[in-house]
């Protein structure tokens, strides 16, 4: 065991550190057991991003003619993903040269600087310190080649028209050329990114007329050049201002992308000897859904009088509607079901025939029962801010699929029999009254139909009154 001696230092005349304090200090350093003298480790963690200590020319400089900019920081820096982070406004034709040193960044324009123009070099989140990765968020360097710094701005939000949600992968394009064809043939003057909420902001803009677009630029061309690209446009000219503004763009794809075609040869199938089928029946028949039959091959001839429901005494039930879809492989039987009923579906052997002349192997009888009314919930939604004049349609979502939709004719929606589950809710403003979302068309200058997404999901419980107030 080592012995430590503590010298009591005199602070001022006649003032000494008390012995009890010395003992406590001794305990805090050495504890109550044997120990070695050591140096403290760690320290206060650095939580601050790098600080710009010198810029040449100075930030906000005017009448700048030099095409080289030097930025020096107070600590060692790391610059990551500069390609995706860097935005230079106005947009450059040639990619600038960037040289990164331990504590500095040198930026060199390869395009000729435009006269009387304010430039904004935004590094996004690319700059961070090298030890703790503290990010210098959204760092911008601004200067002007003229005698003033433009200070106007333009802000807004991009919404996916079909879902009412944001998609941060889009870019926002700003054109001085207001011709409709500019977005298809020329590069934009300014580009802005979207944040996670779909918001964008252009700063240091001049007073001028602009056209505004949003684009998911898959090919990197900075142009709208395909109907499958996600795109948004404004019908009006936009003007930057010194006040807060919020322009809303509704993005859409005019056409869905075609599924990739496969060149693989289809496997040889053994020819069938009979027609087979499956149904959508799951334990009990849903009171809100039709009975569906899916056949293994397209039907050529069908006799619906030989496909029918009966009760348990085999008394035939009437009032059934039959519909064969365009593929001739799905038959829908619609009927107003009675709760808690025991039924039979009878399909006679000679009721069906496909193009090869095949039929069922035998007459089939399927026994099933319908659900109870108590298996469903009761739902009431009361809307505030709902514009009935815009033909709203409420859509209930399971994942990204529309499970049910109903037109709204008042600010209250009620349904006494609703399938239990957790649903997302969207409001479609059905301009053309066809009951479904309609995309936009830039050539015809038609905006897509709008959808408002309700942030909170709703859980429907069986045999329960489910009520909610929704503020739009």
DSSP code at position 363:
-
pLDDT value for 42:
55
Listed in sequence order, the residues at least 6 apart from 178 whose beta carbon sits closer than 8 Å to its beta carbon are: 209, 210, 211, 237
Q: C-alpha distances in angstroms, 282 versus 287, 317, 366, 368, 448?
A: 12, 21, 12, 10, 38
pLDDT value for 262:
44
The residue that leads in pLDDT, 59 or 274, is 59
Q: What is the mean pLDDT of residues 402-407?
A: 95
Cα–Cα distance, 46 to 135 (Å, whole number): 12
DSSP code at position 227:
T
Strands 247-253 and 152-160 come out as parallel
Single out the residue of 347, 330, 325 nearest to residue 295, CA to CA: 330
pLDDT value for 279:
95
The residue that leads in pLDDT, 31 or 184, is 184
Listed in sequence order, the residues at least 6 apart from 19 whose beta carbon sits closer than 8 Å to its beta carbon are: 8
Single out the residue of 457, 452, 382, 371 nearest to residue 419, CA to CA: 371
For the chain, domains (ranges, CATH) are 152-253 (2.60.40.10), 277-373 (2.60.40.3710), 376-471 (2.60.40.10)
The residue that leads in pLDDT, 184 or 47, is 184
Listed in order, strand segments (DSSP E) in 4-150 are 10-12, 15-16, 52-56, 68-73, 77-79, 87-89, 97-101, 104-108, 118-122, 127-129, 140-144
pLDDT value for 268:
56
pTM, whole model, 2 decimals?
A: 0.78
Residue 188: Cβ within 10 Å count? 25
pLDDT value for 265:
53
In this prediction, residue 219 has a pLDDT band, given cuts at 50, 70 and 90, of confident
Cα–Cα distance, 306 to 299 (Å, whole number): 15
pLDDT value for 269:
54
Q: 186: number of CA atoms within 13 Å, CB side?
A: 14
Cα–Cα distance, 28 to 216 (Å, whole number): 61
User: Mean pLDDT over all residues of the chain?
Assistant: 88
């Amino acid at each position: 065991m080592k012995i430590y001696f503590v010298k009591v230092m005199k602070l001022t005349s006649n003032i000494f550190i008390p012995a009890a304090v010395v003992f406590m200090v001794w305990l805090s350093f050495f504890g109550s057991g044997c120990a070695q003298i050591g140096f403290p480790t760690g320290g206060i963690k650095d939580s601050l991003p790098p600080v710009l200590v010198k810029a040449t020319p100075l930030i906000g400089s005017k009448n700048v003619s030099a095409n080289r900019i030097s930025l020096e920081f107070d600590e060692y820096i790391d610059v990551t993903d500069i390609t995706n982070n860097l935005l230079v406004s106005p947009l450059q034709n040639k990619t600038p040269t960037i040289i990164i040193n331990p504590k500095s960044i040198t930026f060199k324009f390869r395009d000729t600087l435009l006269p009387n123009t304010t430039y904004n070099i935004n590094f996004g989140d690319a700059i961070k310190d090298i030890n703790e990765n503290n990010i210098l968020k959204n760092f911008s360097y601004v200067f002007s080649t003229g005698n003033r710094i433009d200070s106007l701005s333009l802000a807004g939000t991009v919404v996916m028209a079909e879902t009412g949600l944001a998609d941060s992968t889009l870019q926002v394009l700003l054109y001085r050329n207001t011709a409709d064809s500019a977005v298809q043939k020329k590069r934009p003057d300014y580009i802005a990114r979207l944040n996670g909420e779909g918001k964008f902001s252009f700063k240091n803009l001049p007073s001028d007329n602009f056209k505004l677009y949003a684009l998911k630029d898959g090919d990197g061309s900075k142009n709208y050049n395909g109907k499958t690209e996600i795109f948004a446009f404004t019908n009006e000219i936009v003007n930057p201002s010194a006040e807060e503004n919020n322009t809303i763009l509704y993005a859409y794809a005019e056409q869905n992308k075609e599924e990739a075609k496969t060149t693989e040869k289809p496997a040889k199938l053994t020819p069938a000897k009979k027609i087979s089928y499956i149904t959508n029946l799951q334990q009990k028949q849903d009171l809100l859904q039709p009975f569906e039959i899916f056949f293994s091959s397209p039907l050529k001839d069908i006799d619906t009088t030989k496909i029918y429901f009966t009760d348990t005494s085999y008394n035939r039930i009437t009032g059934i509607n039959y519909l064969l879809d365009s593929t001739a492989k799905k038959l829908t039987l619609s009927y107003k079901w009675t709760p808690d009923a025991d039924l039979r579906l009878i399909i006679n052997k000679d009721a069906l025939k496909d193009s090869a002349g095949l039929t069922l192997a035998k007459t089939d009888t399927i026994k099933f029962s319908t659900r109870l009314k108590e298996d469903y919930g009761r739902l009431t939604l009361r809307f505030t801010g709902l514009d009935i004049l815009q033909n709203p349609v409420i859509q209930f979502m399971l994942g990204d699929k529309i499970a049910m939709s109903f037109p709204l004719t008042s600010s209250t929606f009620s349904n006494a029999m609703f399938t239990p589950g957790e649903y997302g809710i969207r409001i479609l403003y059905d301009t053309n009254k066809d009951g479904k979302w309609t995309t936009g068309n830039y050539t015809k200058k038609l905006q897509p139909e709008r959808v408002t997404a309700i942030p909170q999901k709703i859980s429907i419980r069986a045999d329960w009154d489910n009520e909610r107030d929704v503020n739009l």
